[in-house]
Structure 1
Amino acid sequence: MAFEGLSERLQGSMKKIKGKGKVSEQDVKDMMREVRLALLEADVNFKVVKKFVNDVKERAVGQEVMDSLTPGQQVIKVVNEELTSLLGGEQSKLAVSSKSPTVVMMVGLQGSGKTTTTGKLALHLRKNHNRKPLMAAADVYRPAAIKQLETLGKQLDMPVFSMGDKVSPVEIATKAVEQAKEDHQDYVLIDTAGRLHVDENLMDELDHIKTAVKPDEVLLVVDSMTGQDAVNVAENFHERLGITGIVMTKLDGDTRGGAAISVKSVTGMPIKFAGMGEKSDALEPFHPERMASRILGMGDMLSLIEKAQTNVDEDKAKELERKMRTNELTFDDFLDQLSQVKDMGPIDELLQMMPGASKMKGMKNLQVDDKQIAHIEAIVKSMTKEERDTPSVLNGSRKRRIARGSGRNIQEVNRLIKQFDEMKKMMKQMTGMQKGKKKGGGMKMPFM
């Protein structure tokens, strides 16, 4: 996971100071030495590290912190606020033009994930904002890029504007905007060409496209796995092209995360989106305060709730709540909820968003194998309708039949039935605790 090493180091250094009733200036210096090393190891730009450490130190040894009742916690609060500021402060949203369509130029080096990100952004706009985007294939130097965008368009049922690879990118971009106006599309996402490194020809071409279509956004797509090089690329693109925002790809991978932390300070431009996986919907708006909380092990419940709101069927959630109250849960309900949780993303990643998850025993190395979920589904689907609706009828011979039908052993079948019974009891207790409270329109979280 991104920031894993940095998270461990930062959380370790702050653990020493958290519970202290009194914090000395030396305590703060010792902690900041650890923080400085952690940031440098994560490949954060050394100038950025120096400024961050000085800003935190200056605030942390101030009278307001030192004289507070909980100085240790106050220091951590300062670190959290300064880290949030370093990552951009507040969320920077995508521009919306007063005159439709909003034009977005997608730029970046070859291999940064630009074409895939264009597809992800189109899906995000349609799914989360009810927009109608048009993707334009303006990378004429790589016929595979045009084909890739067209294939993405078919997969996502999204329109793609293409004129082949014999027309100039400027003409393609201009005609794409005209087409979007005619078809009443809200956004035009122009997938431009990349190179293996920044060169004059690339920048000239991008400059000409920018002059021709006057985009509302110029989004630079950078691969976070490239570390400090990603920051240098961002600096070069911004200097020549004047980018308006950054999309960090592969932020879910085994990356030290230094690029994401450095890039806002170095370019002055905000990170607007983060690529968090291979799936078409694995693009998230970048929230600096939430990312800072994740890094410091404080969880990210807001993102978790948003994922649930996007993927959980509200009518089904209400029916589920009724069944929980009356203890009528069935294995069909279990399968349905399992499916909704799977749609939210990898379960181990969802658990990491919970506050304090990093401190829970066994959570650090937790990996939820998709095969385990498939095994559960196979067991439940091997049951008859009666058995799924009334688990109490499951006797020894029925369990043996289910085990044979699902290709699993009898112990696994017994374990699942036991876990299901325990879960039903727990859910009944949880709904019992809610009695007497005001009914609101709150989110109903799915269960596992």
Structure 2
Amino acid sequence: MEQQLPASTNIVAIRASFLHFIEDPAKVEQVDRAYQFILDGLMIVNEGKVQSLTLFTEEEAELYSNIEDKRGKLIIPGFIDTHVHYPQTQMIAAYGDQLLEWLENYTFLTEKQFSNKEYAQKIAKFFINELLKNGTTSALVFGTVHSESIDALFEEAQKIDMRLIAGKVMMDRNAPDYLLDTAQSSYDESKALIEKWHNKGRLQYAITPRFAPTSSPLQLQAAGKLKSEYPDVYVHTHLSENKNEIEWVKSLFPEREGYFDVYAHHGLTGHKSIFAHCLHLTDKEWLAFSSSNSVISFCPTSNLFLGSGLFDLDKAEKNNIRVGLGTDVGAGTSFSQFTSLNEAYKIMQLQGQKLSVFKGLYLATLGSAKSLSLDDQVGNFEVGKEADFVVLNWAATDLQKLRQQSSTTLEDKLFALMMLADDRNIAETYITGKLVYSANKYSGKKSDF
């Protein structure tokens, strides 16, 4: 018999059921070639990275002194949120407006408070806990115009070694005076933040003009200059969310061919440029989007909440455009990517399209990792990947238990999970193999609010 390996804080061994994706289900002839499901598996994490994932055997188990037994649970890679506004956490579910009015009546007033670093720290802590509570282990995040908002967020993420991409908003017009910067100050402050935070541990920076209407051509030129000086950083903004917004862009940039061309003209498109929404692209813009290898963040709950429109996922796929999944809190109404997928399924139904559970869970994990050019680091359980994962309860309510009892196939069990699950199904969340959230420990914990 081989000698048992000693317990080590650097080695984690977990027994459970495992599901992860190795390819886009829409791009394989047989869907079961897109994923790996192991009913009784053993995952070994060493130094925060996946060392192996195999069928559980007694012989393999004897090598490890402390195996965490999570049989009856399903482990999947951590969810990845490709578009979310952390300063809007407290104004989630603000009633009754479409995009432009909603910004004026709720968003700007809320974001004003983030000039106060102490306040930003309090919301950043709450925000990251909500991500973890919902099984999200990586995110692309909007801050506010204040540098303090980004410092607070990155400092909080750094405490748990979370993979986070974020940026200070650039906004020099068409907003309240108390939220405006200038083309020069936005360049200077963004540059300082890039130097301070980009590629510091698992943190990365995104150049973040809010959207074209709130940035002058001079500011967009400054953003493009930053992108040329730091080609490894991301660009994160909004595009074609609302029809009135699109008309506004046309009036502000009459010299450009369209909304997407405003960004392209200033050098802000490309493989690390993520555009939220993209609901009303023209045929010419679809082609330009594809040829630039830019990325779309699909934000189902906010698109419905603000009445913005229905995203055409099939058209994005036909144009070979990478798509990630975003909650878009606070216009989005939930931190849960299960809720995002629930609404995404309905959005596609309304267009005569279908969203399989395999495509849905792919979008929330490996698909979003690919959209953020992070699939060499996270998104599945391939050997060497960072061990960010979620331990799920198949059924967290009486209704879910009843529904699961009638499920006879893996696909049906997963579909019921996708449509009915929420934060109650998240038993535990791990980042680089370390437990950072446990529902049992969280239960009864007093909130700071």
TM-score by length of 2: 0.32
Q: Looking at secondary structure, tell me which structure has more helix per residue.
A: 1
Q: Looking at secondary structure, tell me which structure has more strand per residue.
A: 2
TM-score by length of 1: 0.32
